[in-house]
Amino acid sequence: MQDMEHNQYSQETIDHFMNPRNVGKIENPDGVGIAGDPECGDYIEITISVKDYFIKDIKFMVHGCVGAISTSSMTTELAKGKPLMAAYAISNEDVINALGGLPSEKEHCSLLGPIALKKAIVDYINKNKSILEK
């Protein structure tokens, strides 16, 4: 990890990169969200399980750099157990702050997790419109 050797990353970021949380895919998910940045090749898929409008479980699969992996992991940690709308409100700034900052050239990586999370929540809502309208 050449970019980790320069101490550009916080300990929290390195920890989430070396030990990412919630990796994988939920079988039969309630919602799926995909985000990618063709410029740097980073790609993320988030799957969620919802119960009583709370994110009961969340998993991610990512292809990307240190920033993409650590921010994806942190996004899932911030969202897990939250009401849907609170999870929907998670921003890339929330993720960056929770990680203790990112090098400026890696801040774009923090967008992927929240974008995929929002898409997964929208997917859940679209699949359950008739239930939610009651």
**73-102 pLDDT per residue, tens:** 999 999 999 999 999 999 999 999 999 988
pTM: 0.88
Give me the DSSP letters along 67-132.
Answer: HHHHHHHHHHHHHTTSBHHHHHT--HHHHHHHTT---GGGGGGGGHHHHHHHHHHHHHHHHTHHHH
- Residue 90 inside a domain? The answer is yes
Q: What is the pLDDT of residues 112-130, one digit of tens each?
A: 899 999 999 999 999 988 7
- Residue 6 inside a domain? The answer is no
Judged by DSSP in three states, 133 sits in coil
CB atoms within 10 A of CB 125: 16
- Residue 2 inside a domain? The answer is no
Report the CATH number at residue 94. 3.90.1010.10
Per the structure, how many domains does the chain have? 1
Answer yes or no: are the C-beta atoms of 117 and 46 closer than 8 Å.
Answer: yes
- Residue 37 inside a domain? The answer is yes
The rounded distance, in Å, linking the Cα atoms of 120 and 12 is 25
